Amino acid sequence: ELKRMSVSREQRGRGLARALCREVLAFARARGYGAVVLSTSMVQVAAQRLYEGQGFRRVGASYPSLLGTLLNFQIFHYRCDLGDGT
């Protein structure tokens, strides 16, 4: 599970997030993991584009709390299948 990946504002736009994401996927694939999963909020549109561009697909959504439900604030769940590591 990939959690809380971020790049400081000063360093954004330099490809660091894409490189970090590729490294995580390569690391997991090399160790025989079948998939990487992550979650991001509905307002993190740039993150959604990043993950989708790296091969993640949205597999679900949920509300983080009752307040989230009342505000219609969703958390999107993503998965990237890695295959058999070959």
pTM listed for this prediction = 0.84
Segments forming the whole domain that contains residue 53:
9-81
Return d(Cα 55, Cα 84) in angstroms, integer.
16
Answer for the pair 51, 40: CB distance below 8 angstroms, yes or no: yes
Would residue 2 count as lying in a domain? no
- Percent of the chain predicted with pLDDT > 90: 79
Residue 15 DSSP code: S
Q: Residues 20-40: pLDDT tens digits? A: 999 999 999 999 999 999 999
% of the chain exceeding 70 in pLDDT: 94
What is the CB neighbour count within 10 angstroms for residue 52? 13
What CATH number is given to the structural domain containing 69?
Answer: 3.40.630.30
Residue 35 in tokens: 């998939």
Q: What is the greatest pairwise CA distance in the chain?
A: 45
Structure tokens at 22: 């590729």
Domain count of the chain? 1
Do residues 16 and 7 touch, judged by C-beta distance below 8 A?
yes
pLDDT value of residue 86 = 47
